[in-house]
């Protein structure tokens, strides 16, 4: 039974008016369902098509982009808040519903996903040309887009969980695309397992919330949370922490960030799409969706959020300095920036965190695609084999520079505005210590990005290949994304235009946060200062007083460098502490139990069945039924053998029989009648 | 005279003929027994002719025909027995069983 | 009981006796001669039933020709002359029972169906028979003559020695 009904929220604190989205919102399920249909189409038709199914993928993403753009325009002009539910079952009093929610937050996510996916898909058509399993790649990529859309459009925690897990599966498939090399399949498993560990927290949190609130519906839970329902407030803090643990896994927060650098083993378009712009932002999205919950009853959980976010921000950034692999630099950079977003949300800065998500998606995807362009041309990930590419690959170079500047946070590019908002919120809320750490983080960010740029594009070419500029299908997305990297920040300029705030604030439940009406000058200046200092420091170390190769030696402060190179020995800790004991002790015991007990049991059952079958066969089938059937034929044969003896060829015998018959008949007719 | 004894006699003769056919081994003896049977039939025909006082004497006429046909049949039968005897050197009926199964 | 009846019973008895002799004896010649006697006594019976012509036809045709034919047949097929125990089949009970059964059923039917007397007043003349034979029954008469012709030709054709085949190189 399908019940589709909408809820017009009755609890909106802002006087801002909004609409119900009309037809566009009603049919928004198309953008969620379409990728799955496209994935199916690619599976069955892809191999026969000229571009191996990529056409279907790009077409579906294009549709999503256009639709989400239309929704965005609608939201900007009129505001959209609407929710649709489809009931698929129920457990006792708890209803299991799926559906789609169309409000400011989800529309923003739709647009981010649509836009970045479109660019990445077009890029991947060229980048993955000639690679193995081309069609399957696009199937997985489209599936991933669909899963992410399921996640961000979910009005119930149940659907959120489904989307969460789906995204994890697609991540596994895509990271392990080149699974012929053990390193890649191990990375995929690492990503999946690390996420799964965190998902335990998520699931427990969801179950707690759902049982206490009596429903999976997010809007109902938020309503109950903000209106002081006893059932929710009792478990709010614990549930909040647990949900955040789930977010930690997906958004690669310290110490569960270990999977993200290894995930760079996947193809670069995957890194660009999933591990920069979309999948890793799922944790941020979760916190943003549950923001009233965290602001209200679960407020103590925010302390943990803030702490973890700041730790991540700092430690992630430090790790980026020591990397030789270009993609790993960007991976740690993503970890660090995700830390910024989590910090913002932990500090109660809803708009700042989402703004950074928005801008980061564009310039990080740009940086990844640019790195992919370089790697495609040079054939290696290691920066020690690159260099001097700025003249050979001008477009890539220019767009990469734009991305770097945006990430470093220099005006008027996008990163400046979003990072500035975070710093402003931190200082406003009074978190002085965290504020300083964030500022240092800005320094580190600028430093490692400049280092990466110098090592890749400046100096002499240290490699052995013949690099050349990439094809148009790869450079056009770079250009488009670089334009977005420039303008994306202009949607929320404090004091001048704060459209973004109202976009994402258009929700069924009021978002109470601090809205600065002008620039916080302290924060802004400190942020700018640290960014510029970082760039200059890198300039001096790697260009002025050294070159790309030797620059590292100057800053190799042991034992800090060693610790950083070994990633804080976290991986060793995890492997020796958790994985190995499980693998050797527990797994071995389980295996023994499996083979000795279970297998033996099953084998016995099998043998017994075979024996029984043999008995039945020989006794019933052969002895019984076959004998019966055979006896019919043998009996007929015998009877025939006996009957044929009548035909002896002797006339007198025939006559005897004949006359006996005559006698018999005559007796019957003449005598008995 | 009463017809019943004569009828019984004819029936008895017929049965004796049957016995003879089934018992005798020699083909010529069998033909002999067939003559007995035909003779019994003749008695019947003539008897009923007399009993019914048939104006057309059909019984007797038919009896003449029977005798004629019997004579022809014996001629042919013996010719056949002769042929077989030439081939097989035996007139034993039990040896002529080529139509055996 | 008049002489007529005594003589008729005697003749009947003799017919049966000689008939039995035909099938029971182990001497083939005796069997043939017994048949002669049976036919003779049948002719006598016919005379008593005022069927003169038929009676003499029997004597003429049957005894005069058929039996002679039989005797020739006996001789040519080298039937063992003299007393011979191998003349009969081994199994005699079934035919005996069969013939007995047939006799009994027939006599039962006859006894329940017929009764009456035969009064012989005058015997039929040859003239009458001739007129009927060639008058009303001329068609069967002609057909029977054809039968005789066929038997004649067939007998000759069957029993003559094989003519040597024309050798193929003479064609």
Tens digits of residue pLDDT in A426-452: 888 777 888 888 888 898 898 888 888
Nearest to A656 among C94, C105, C106 (CB): C94
Ordered by start, the domain boundaries in chain C are: 1-86, 125-171
Mutation site, B14, B33, B96, B97, interface A, largest A CB count within 10 A: B97
Q: Given the DSSP bridges, would you call strands A94-102 and A82-91 parallel, antiparallel or unpaired?
A: antiparallel
Chain B environment of C98 (Cβ under 8 Å) = 18-19, 22
User: Which residue, A353, A355, A313, is CA-closest to A335?
Assistant: A313
Residue C105 to residue A671, Cβ atoms within 8 A: yes
Report the C-alpha gap between A31 and A153 in whole angstroms. Answer: 10
Bridge partners for A498 per DSSP: A492
The pLDDT assigned to B15 comes to 95
Q: Is the pLDDT of residue A279 over 80?
A: yes
Which token pair is B52?
A: 């019914």
Task: Give every CB contact of residue B2 below 8 A, 6+ residues apart in sequence.
Answer: C116, C117, C118
On whether the CB atoms of residues B78 and A628 are closer than 8 A, the answer is no
- Residues in B whose CB is inside 8 Å of some CB of A read 18, 21-22, 30, 93-94, 96-101
* Segment B22-32, tens digit of pLDDT: 998 888 999 99
Report the C-alpha gap between A110 and A104 in whole angstroms. Answer: 10
Strand ranges (E), A39-109: 82-91, 94-102
Chain B environment of C5 (Cβ under 8 Å) = 1
- Residues in A whose CB is inside 8 Å of some CB of C read 652, 656, 659-660, 662-663, 666-667, 670-671
Residue in chain A closest to B101 (alpha carbons) equals A647
The pLDDT assigned to A598 comes to 76
On whether the CB atoms of residues A260 and A280 are closer than 8 A, the answer is yes
Chain B environment of A642 (Cβ under 8 Å) = none
> What distance lies between CA A2 and its chain's CA centroid?
28
On whether the CB atoms of residues A245 and A198 are closer than 8 A, the answer is yes
Average pLDDT over residues A147-152: 93
Report the C-alpha gap between B82 and A323 in whole angstroms. Answer: 126
Report the C-alpha gap between A358 and A415 in whole angstroms. Answer: 10
Cis? peptide before A381, omega within 30° of 0 = no
On whether the CB atoms of residues C20 and C92 are closer than 8 A, the answer is no
On whether the CB atoms of residues A491 and A500 are closer than 8 A, the answer is yes
Distance from the Cα of B86 to chain C's closest Cα (Å) equals 8
pLDDT tier for residue C13 given thresholds of 50, 70 and 90: very high
Of chain A, the percentage scoring pLDDT greater than 90 comes to 15
Q: The complex's ipTM?
A: 0.91
User: Which residue, A543, A528, A473, A489, is CA-closest to A269?
Assistant: A473
Report the C-alpha gap between A316 and A567 in whole angstroms. Answer: 9
Which token pair is A593?
A: 């139990």
Number of C-beta neighbours around residue A483 at 10 A? 14
**Residue-wise burial string across A576-608, b where 16 or more C-beta atoms lie within 10 A, e elsewhere:** eeeeeeeeeeeeeeeeeeeeeeeeeeeeeeeee
Task: Give every CB contact of residue C122 below 8 A, 6+ residues apart in sequence.
Answer: C50
Q: Is the pLDDT of residue A55 over 80?
A: yes
Average pLDDT over residues A177-204: 89
Which token pair is A361?
A: 């998606």
User: What is the DSSP secondary-structure string of C3-55?
Assistant: HHHHHHHHHHHHHHHHHHHHHH-S-HHHHHHHHHHHHHHHHHHHHHTT-HHHH
Chain A environment of B22 (Cβ under 8 Å) = 652, 655-656, 659
Would you call A26 helix, strand, or coil by DSSP?
A: helix
Chain B environment of C116 (Cβ under 8 Å) = 2-3, 51
Half-sphere exposure of A317 (CA within 13 A, CB side): 28
On whether the CB atoms of residues A329 and A320 are closer than 8 A, the answer is yes
Residue in chain B closest to C111 (alpha carbons) equals B4
- Residues in C whose CB is inside 8 Å of some CB of A read 89, 94-95, 98, 101-102, 105-106, 108-109
- Residue identified by tokens 């009755």 is A10
Chain C environment of B64 (Cβ under 8 Å) = 53-54, 57, 129, 133
On whether the CB atoms of residues A363 and A306 are closer than 8 A, the answer is no
The pLDDT assigned to A103 comes to 86
Average pLDDT over residues A170-199: 89
Taking the alpha carbons at both ends of chain B, their separation in whole angstroms is 52
Average pLDDT of every residue of chain C? 86
The pLDDT assigned to C114 comes to 87
Average pLDDT over residues C119-123: 72
Residue A649 to residue B21, Cβ atoms within 8 A: no
Report the C-alpha gap between A242 and A236 in whole angstroms. Answer: 10
> What distance lies between CA A563 and its chain's CA centroid?
30
Residue A663 to residue C89, Cβ atoms within 8 A: no
Which of A496-510, A548-562, C9-23 is least confident?
Answer: A548-562
Would you call A547 helix, strand, or coil by DSSP?
A: coil
Of these ranges, A439-453, A482-496, A528-542, the one predicted with the greatest mean pLDDT is A439-453
Q: Which residue has the higher pLDDT, A536 or C146?
A: C146
Distance from the Cα of A645 to chain C's closest Cα (Å) equals 17
* Segment C53-105, tens digit of pLDDT: 999 999 999 999 999 999 998 888 876 666 655 777 778 888 999 999 999 99
Q: Is the pLDDT of residue C139 over 90?
A: yes
C-alpha distances (whole Å) from A377 to each of A130, A215, A373 are 15, 53, 6
Chain C environment of B75 (Cβ under 8 Å) = 69, 151-152, 155
Which token pair is A321?
A: 């300095």
Nearest to B22 among A644, A645, A652 (CB): A652
pLDDT tier for residue B35 given thresholds of 50, 70 and 90: very high
Chain A environment of B93 (Cβ under 8 Å) = 650-652
The pLDDT assigned to C56 comes to 93
Chains that touch A (3 or more CB pairs under 8 A): B, C
Which token pair is A231?
A: 């059932």
Mutation site, A652, A666, A669, A673, interface C, largest C CB count within 10 A: A666
Q: Is the pLDDT of residue B68 over 90?
A: yes
SS3 content of chain B, % helix, strand, coil (to 5): 80, 5, 15
Distance from the Cα of C166 to chain B's closest Cα (Å) equals 22
Report the C-alpha gap between A567 and A372 in whole angstroms. Answer: 24
Q: Which residue has the higher pLDDT, A96 or C40?
A: C40
Report the C-alpha gap between C57 and C42 in whole angstroms. Answer: 11
Which of A14-28, A179-193, B87-101 is least confident?
Answer: A14-28
Residue B2 to residue C117, Cβ atoms within 8 A: yes
The pLDDT assigned to B7 comes to 94
Chain B environment of A651 (Cβ under 8 Å) = 93, 96
The pLDDT assigned to A484 comes to 86
The pLDDT assigned to A147 comes to 93
Mutation site, C87, C90, C98, C107, interface A, largest A CB count within 10 A: C98
* Segment A10-24, tens digit of pLDDT: 434 344 566 776 777
The pLDDT assigned to A66 comes to 92
The pLDDT assigned to B46 comes to 93
Of chain C, the percentage scoring pLDDT greater than 70 comes to 88
Report the C-alpha gap between A545 and A355 in whole angstroms. Answer: 38
Number of C-beta neighbours around residue A93 at 10 A? 7
Report the C-alpha gap between B50 and B59 in whole angstroms. Answer: 8
Residue B22 to residue A656, Cβ atoms within 8 A: yes
Of chain B, the percentage scoring pLDDT greater than 90 comes to 59
Bridge partners for A95 per DSSP: A90
Q: Is the pLDDT of residue C168 over 70?
A: no
Distance from the Cα of C115 to chain B's closest Cα (Å) equals 7
The pLDDT assigned to A8 comes to 43
On whether the CB atoms of residues A311 and A254 are closer than 8 A, the answer is yes
Q: In what order do the strands lie in the sheet with A82-91?
A: A4-6, A82-91, A94-102
Residue B22 to residue A655, Cβ atoms within 8 A: yes
Number of C-beta neighbours around residue A572 at 10 A? 11
The topology (CATH level 3) of C1-86 is: 1.20.120
Nearest to C118 among B13, B39, B51 (CB): B51
pLDDT tier for residue A505 given thresholds of 50, 70 and 90: confident
Q: Given the DSSP bridges, would you call strands A497-498 and A492-493 parallel, antiparallel or unpaired?
A: antiparallel
Helices (H), A214-267: 218-226, 230-250, 259-262
Report the C-alpha gap between A451 and A386 in whole angstroms. Answer: 13
Of these ranges, A15-24, A409-418, A463-472, the one predicted with the greatest mean pLDDT is A409-418
How many CB pairs below 8 Å do chains A and B form together?
30
Residue C163 region by backbone torsions, left for phi larger than 0, else alpha for psi between -120 and 50, else beta: beta
Report the C-alpha gap between A406 and A411 in whole angstroms. Answer: 8
A650 touching B (Cβ < 8 Å): yes
Q: How many residues does chain C have?
A: 171
Chains that touch B (3 or more CB pairs under 8 A): A, C
User: Which residue, A263, A287, A254, is CA-closest to A167?
Assistant: A263
Average pLDDT over residues A276-303: 85
On whether the CB atoms of residues A482 and A402 are closer than 8 A, the answer is yes
Chain C environment of B14 (Cβ under 8 Å) = 102-103, 106
The pLDDT assigned to A659 comes to 92
User: What is the DSSP secondary-structure string of C93-154?
Assistant: HHHHHHHHHHHHHHHHHHHHH---B-----PPPHHHHHHHHHHTTHHHHHHHHHHHHHHHHH
User: Which residue, A171, A347, A349, is CA-closest to A252?
Assistant: A171
The pLDDT assigned to A5 comes to 46
Chains that touch C (3 or more CB pairs under 8 A): A, B
Which of A98-107, A539-548, C30-39 is least confident?
Answer: A539-548
Report the C-alpha gap between A410 and A54 in whole angstroms. Answer: 37
A671 touching B (Cβ < 8 Å): no
User: Which residue, A401, A404, A402, A413, is CA-closest to A488?
Assistant: A413
The pLDDT assigned to C84 comes to 59
What are the φ/ψ torsions at residue A98 (nearest 5 degrees)? Answer: -115, 180
Distance from the Cα of B68 to chain C's closest Cα (Å) equals 7
The pLDDT assigned to A11 comes to 39
Chain A environment of B18 (Cβ under 8 Å) = 659
Would you call A473 helix, strand, or coil by DSSP?
A: helix
Report the C-alpha gap between A149 and A494 in whole angstroms. Answer: 30
Residue in chain C closest to A655 (alpha carbons) equals C95
Average pLDDT of every residue of chain B? 90
B87 touching C (Cβ < 8 Å): no
């Amino acid at each position: 039974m399908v019940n589709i009904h909408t809820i017009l929220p009755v609890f909106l604190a802002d006087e801002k008016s909004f609409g119900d989205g009309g037809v566009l919102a009603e049919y928004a399920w198309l953008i969620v369902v379409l990728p799955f249909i496209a994935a199916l189409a690619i599976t069955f038709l892809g191999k026969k098509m000229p571009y191996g199914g990529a056409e279907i993928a790009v077409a579906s993403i294009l549709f999503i982009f256009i639709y989400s753009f239309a929704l965005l325009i609608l939201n900007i002009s009129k505001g959209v808040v609407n929710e649709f539910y489809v009931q698929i079952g129920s457990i006792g009093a708890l209803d299991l519903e799926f559906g789609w929610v169309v409000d400011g937050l989800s529309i923003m996510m739709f647009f981010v996903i649509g836009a970045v996916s479109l660019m990445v898909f077009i890029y991947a058509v060229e980048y993955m040309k000639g690679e193995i399993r081309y069609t399957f790649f696009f199937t997985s990529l489209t599936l991933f887009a669909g899963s992410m859309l399921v996640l961000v459009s979910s009005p119930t925690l149940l659907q959120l969980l489904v989307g969460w897990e789906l995204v994890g599966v697609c991540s596994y498939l895509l990271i392990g695309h080149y699974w012929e090399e053990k390193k890649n399949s191990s990375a995929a498993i690492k990503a999946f397992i690390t996420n799964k560990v965190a998902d335990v927290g998520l699931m427990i949190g969801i179950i707690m919330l759902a049982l206490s609130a009596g429903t999976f519906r997010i809007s109902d839970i938020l309503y109950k949370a903000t209106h002081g329902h006893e059932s929710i407030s009792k478990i709010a803090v614990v549930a909040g922490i647990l949900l955040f643990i789930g977010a930690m896994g997906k958004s690669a927060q310290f110490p569960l960030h270990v999977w993200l650098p290894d995930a760079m083993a996947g193809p670069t378009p995957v890194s660009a799409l999933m591990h920069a712009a979309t999948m890793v932002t799922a944790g941020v999205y979760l916190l943003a969706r549950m923001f009233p919950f965290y602001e209200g009853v679960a407020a103590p959980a925010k302390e943990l959020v803030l702490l973890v976010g700041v730790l991540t921000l700092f430690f992630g950034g430090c790790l980026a300095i020591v990397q030789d692999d270009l993609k790993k630099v960007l991976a740690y950079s993503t970890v660090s920036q995700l830390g910024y977003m989590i910090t913002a949300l932990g500090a109660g800065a809803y708009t700042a965190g989402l703004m950074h998500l928005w801008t980061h998606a564009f310039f990080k995807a740009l940086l990844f695609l640019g790195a992919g362009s370089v790697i495609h041309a040079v054939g290696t990930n290691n920066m020690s084999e690159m260099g001097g590419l700025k003249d050979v690959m001008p477009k890539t170079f220019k767009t990469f520079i734009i991305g770097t500047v945006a990430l470093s946070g220099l005006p008027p590019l996008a990163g400046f505005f979003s990072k500035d908002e975070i710093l402003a919120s931190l200082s406003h809320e009074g978190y002085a210590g965290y504020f300083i750490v964030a500022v240092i983080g800005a320094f580190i960010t600028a430093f490692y990005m400049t280092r990466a740029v110098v090592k890749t594009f400046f100096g002499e070419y240290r490699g052995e290949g013949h690099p050349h500029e990439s094809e148009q299908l790869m450079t056009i997305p770079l250009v488009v994304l670089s334009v977005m990297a420039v303008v994306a920040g202009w949607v929320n300029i404090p004091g001048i235009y704060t459209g973004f705030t109202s976009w994402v604030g258009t929700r069924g439940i009021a978002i109470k946060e601090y809205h600065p009406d002008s620039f916080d000058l302290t924060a802004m200046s400190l942020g700018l200062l640290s960014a510029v200092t970082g760039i200059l420091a890198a300039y001096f170390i790697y260009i002025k007083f050294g070159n790309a190769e030797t620059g590292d030696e100057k800053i190799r402060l042991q034992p800090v460098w060693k610790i950083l190179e070994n990633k804080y020995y976290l991986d060793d800790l995890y492997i020796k502490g958790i994985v190995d004991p499980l693998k050797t002790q527990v797994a071995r015991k389980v295996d023994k139990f499996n083979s000795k007990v279970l297998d033996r049991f099953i084998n016995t059952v099998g043998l017994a069945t075979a024996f029984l079958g043999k008995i039945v066969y020989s006794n019933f089938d052969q002895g019984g039924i076959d004998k019966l059937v055979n006896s019919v034929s043998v009996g007929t044969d015998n009877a025939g053998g006996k009957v044929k003896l009548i035909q002896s060829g002797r006339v007198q015998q025939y006559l005897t029989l004949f006359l006996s018959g005559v006698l018999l008949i005559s007796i019957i007719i003449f005598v008995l009648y | 005279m009463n017809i019943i004894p004569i009828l019984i006699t004819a029936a008895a003769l017929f049965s004796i003929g049957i016995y003879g056919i089934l018992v005798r081994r020699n083909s010529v003896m069998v033909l002999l027994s067939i003559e007995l049977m035909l003779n019994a039939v003749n008695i019947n025909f003539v008897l009923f002719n007399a009993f019914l006082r048939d104006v057309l004497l059909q019984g007797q006429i038919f009896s003449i025909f029977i005798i004629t046909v019997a004579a022809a049949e014996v001629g042919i039968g013996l010719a056949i027995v002769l042929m077989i005897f030439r081939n097989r050197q035996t007139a034993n009926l039990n040896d002529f069983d080529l139509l055996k199964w | 009981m008049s002489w007529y009846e005594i003589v008729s019973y005697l003749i009947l008895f003799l017919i049966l006796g000689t008939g039995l002799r035909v099938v029971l004896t182990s001497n083939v010649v005796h069997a043939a001669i017994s048949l002669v006697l049976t036919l003779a006594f049948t002719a006598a019976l016919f005379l008593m039933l005022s069927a003169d012509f038929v009676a003499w036809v029997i004597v003429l045709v049957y005894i005069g020709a058929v039996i002679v034919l039989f005797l020739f047949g006996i001789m040519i097929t080298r039937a063992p002359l003299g007393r011979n125990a191998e003349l009969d089949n081994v199994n005699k009970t079934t035919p005996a029972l069969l013939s007995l059964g047939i006799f009994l059923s027939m006599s039962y039917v006859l006894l329940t169906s017929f009764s009456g007397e035969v009064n012989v007043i005058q015997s039929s003349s040859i003239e009458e028979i001739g007129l009927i034979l060639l008058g009303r029954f001329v068609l069967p008469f002609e057909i029977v003559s054809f039968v005789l012709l066929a038997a004649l030709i067939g007998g000759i054709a069957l029993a003559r020695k094989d003519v040597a085949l024309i050798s193929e190189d003479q064609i």
